[in-house]
Amino acid sequence: MNVRSARDVIQSRLVVDSRIPLARGEPRVGDRPIATGGSGSGRVFQERALTPVDVDRLEFYLTEYDRPLDADLLVQGFRDGFRLGYQGPRVRRRAENLRSVRGKEELVQQKLAKEVQEGRMAGPFSVWPLRNLTVSPIGVVPKKERGQFRLIHHLSWPEGSSVNDFILEALTKVSYASVDVAVTMVEQLGLGALMAKTDIKALIRTLAGG
């Protein structure tokens, strides 16, 4: 999908309340105005990022989870979007893409268009869609598979004033269950217990942002 078709997808997804007049220079996609979330604008994007997770079913399975606060966090996050925990200044900032993009512009364009098509990104925009939009560089890094690349969003740029610099460290750490925990669970369940291992493709992209 090219940039033009990506723009068509956005035009069909983002609409604005026609009762609210648009000032000159308001954000547009192609020749159509879009909704914004700037202070005092009175308008917001009408669609959040999408997730393939069946939230109602997830909520059902978590009804007896022994950590109800975590269960509520998961359900609310998948339903309304997970918060980054950003506590920094809300300022407009531009950024140049990483050098790794050079020579791979068509590949990057295809990856971005796919994100738009899946409802996980919005754009391209002819002008700034938000008055205080902070832009972070994008780049590509090679995957283990030969000739395959992963699109990255460099939220740690620039050092000292990046998006990541204003997220509490406690919110940036992830801990996974160990093999010892799995063994203990099997011992508790006893003879006949079954184990399974799964790998979710593009896991991070199932998490909608709020």
Tens digit of each residue's pLDDT (9 = 90 or more) over 118-146: 877 888 888 888 889 999 999 999 999 99
Amino acid at 197: K
Amino acid at 34: I
Per-residue pLDDT band for 21 (boundaries 50, 70, 90) equals: very low
What are the residues whose beta carbons fall under 8 Å from the beta carbon of 31, sequence distance 6 or more? none
Q: What is the mean pLDDT of residues 199-203?
A: 75
Q: Yes or no: say if 5 and 113 are a contact pair by the CB < 8 Å rule.
A: yes
State residue 208's pLDDT score. 66
State residue 60's pLDDT score. 96
Among the residue ranges 23-37, 105-119, 142-156, 160-174, the one predicted with the least confidence is 23-37
Buried b (16+ CB within 10 A) or exposed e, 43-80: bebeeebebebebeeebeeeeeeeeeeebeebbebbbe
State residue 149's pLDDT score. 95
Q: What is the DSSP string of the chain?
A: --HHHHHHHHHHH----TTSPPPTT--EETTEE-----TT-----S-PPP--S-HHHHHHHTTT-S-HHHHHHHHHHHHH-B---B-S----B--PPPGGGTT-HHHHHHHHHHHHHTTS-----SS-SSTTPBP--EEEEE-SSTT-EEEEE-TT-STTSSTGGGB-GGGS------HHHHHHHHHHH-TT--------TTGGGGS-B-
> Is a pLDDT exceeding 90 seen at residue 148?
yes
> Is a pLDDT exceeding 80 seen at residue 15?
no
Q: What is the mean pLDDT of residues 166-189?
A: 90
Spatial separation of the C-alpha atoms in residues 195 and 182, rounded to whole Å: 9
Q: What is the mean pLDDT of residues 91-98?
A: 94
Tens digit of each residue's pLDDT (9 = 90 or more) over 70-87: 999 999 988 888 888 999
> pLDDT above 90 covers what percent of the chain?
45
State residue 43's pLDDT score. 39
> Is a pLDDT exceeding 60 seen at residue 18?
no
